Amino acid sequence: MKVGEREFRAVWWEGDGEGRVVMIDQRRLPHELVTVAARTVEEVAFLIMDMAVRGAPTIGATAAYGMVLGRDDPKRAANILGKARPTARDLFTAIEWMVKEPSRERAEAYVEGIVARCRMIGEHGAELLGRIAADRGRANVLTHCHAGALAAVDHGTALAPIHAYARGMGADGVRPLVWVDETRPRLQGAITAWELSAAGIDHKVVVDNAAGHLLSHGEADVVIVGADRIAANGDVANKVGTYGKAVLAKEHGVPFYVAAPSTTIDLSLPDGSHIEIEERGESEVLELRGRQLFGAGTHAFNPAFDVTPARFVTGYITESGVLQAEQLEPTFRPRDKLENDRTTGDT
C-alpha cells in the first residue's frame, strides 16, 4: 500500500543473518505511523497477542517470519507462536508451512503467496463490484473490522476489491463509498478509515449499532468482510459483530461476501462450531486508552470473534474466484493448496 510517496507492507524482514521482523504498529494507528521490531520468537508472539499486527493473513505472515527467528528450534518456535492467538487460521497455516524448513527464503515465499492471493482477491472482487455498480448505479460497501492492506500484508482481503475497483474507476463512473464500522472494542475501523483516506476512497464511519439503520434504509449495496477462519462447510469466524451484520444483510436482501485467501480456510474443521473463539481481557471493553469508561464493580465479557453460518454468506471472494460454500473444499483440498502455495510463492 502507498501512503503519501512511501510504499508499505504490514510486516517485513529486515537485515541479513540474524535479522528482525518489522511491522507497522497497528496499536498506534491512526494517530501515528510507526514500526515496531521483534528479534525473538517470544517478541513476535507477544506483538501478535497484543495486536500490534491484526488480520489473519498478516498474523500468518508475521508468524512465518517469526519461525525464521526461531529456526534453531522450530518445534519450540511453533509452540510459542501457536499460543499467540487461537482463532486466526493463517497463524497455523504459516507455522505448518515453516516448521520443516524455517528459512528466510521459505518465509518470503509464504508472504509473496499471501500478497499474490490478495491481489487476485482484489481483481475478482473488483469485477463483482463492477457488476453491482452496473446493476445499482452505486457501489456502497459496508465493512466490519479492518480487512485492508495492513491486515493482509498488502492489498487487503475485504478492502482489496474496493482498492482495485477504485483504481479502475471511470470505466463505469461509479465512485465507491465505504461504510466503516468502528468495530468496538478495539476500533479497527479507525485503521480501515485511515487506509481508505490514504487511498482517497470515500468513506464514512458508523458505530457498530448503525448497520440495521443503514441496511433497512437501502444505504448499502453489498457487505464485504474478511475472515479469521473458515470451516470446510463455509462457516466463517470473523471479528465479533460480523454475524449480526450477516443476519441483517439477509433480512434486507443485501449480498454478504467474505473475502479471504485459502490460507484462512481450515478444511480440518467440518463446521464453525469447532472454531475456538478467543476471549480477550475485559479491559479492552472497560477502558479506552487508559481511561475507565465504566464504574468500579462492573465487569465485561469480551469474545473477540463470532461465527457466521455459511447460509448467510452469498459468496467467498478467494484467489480462485468468487466461490460458493460447497466449492471451498473441492477447490482448496490440501494437495491443491500446497501445490498452489508453491506455485504462487515462486512467482
Q: From the list 19, 168, 244, 255, which residue makes contact with a copy of itself (rule: CB under 8 A)?
A: 244
Torsion of CA 305, 128, 177, 175, to 10 degrees: 160
Q: Is 31 in the site for a copy of itself (CB under 8 A)?
A: yes
Residues 86, 199: Cα–Cα separation, whole Å? 32
Per-residue string for binding with a copy of itself, 271-310, x by CB under 8 A?
Answer: ------x-------xx-xx-xxxxx-xxxxxxx-xxx---
Scanning residues 250 to 269, which ones bind a copy of itself (CB under 8 A)?
Answer: 251
- Catalytically annotated residue among 25, 90, 181, 228: 228
Q: Is the dihedral of CA 236, 241, 245, 250 positive or negative?
A: positive
197 vs 268, which CB is nearer to a copy of itself?
197
272 touches 231 (CB < 8 A): yes
Scanning residues 81 to 120, which ones bind a copy of itself (CB under 8 A)?
Answer: none
180 touches 193 (CB < 8 A): yes
3-state secondary structure of 13: strand
146 touches 181 (CB < 8 A): no
Q: How far is the CB of 277 from a copy of itself (least distance, A)?
A: 7
Q: Is 133 in the site for a copy of itself (CB under 8 A)?
A: no
Q: From the list 183, 262, 264, 320, which residue makes contact with a copy of itself (rule: CB under 8 A)?
A: 183
3-state secondary structure of 315: strand
Give yes or no: 228 in active site. Answer: yes
Q: How far is the CB of 81 from a copy of itself (least distance, A)?
A: 26
Buried b (16+ CB within 10 A) or exposed e, 103-126: ebebbbbbbbbbbbbbbbbbbbbb
How far lies 3's CA from each of 21, 61, 65, 111, 250, in Å? 21, 21, 24, 21, 36
Tell me the number of residues near a copy of itself by CB under 8 A: 56
Q: Is 25 in the site for a copy of itself (CB under 8 A)?
A: no
> In this chain, which stretch among 11-19, 95-103, 119-127, 186-194 interacts with a copy of itself, using CB under 8 A?
186-194
Q: Is 211 in the site for a copy of itself (CB under 8 A)?
A: yes
Grid coordinates of 326: 460447497
Q: Is 220 in the site for a copy of itself (CB under 8 A)?
A: no
Catalytic residues: 228
Binding site for a copy of itself (CB under 8 A): 29-31, 179-180, 182-185, 187, 189-190, 193-194, 197, 203-213, 216, 239-244, 247-248, 251, 277, 285-286, 288-289, 291-295, 297-303, 305-307
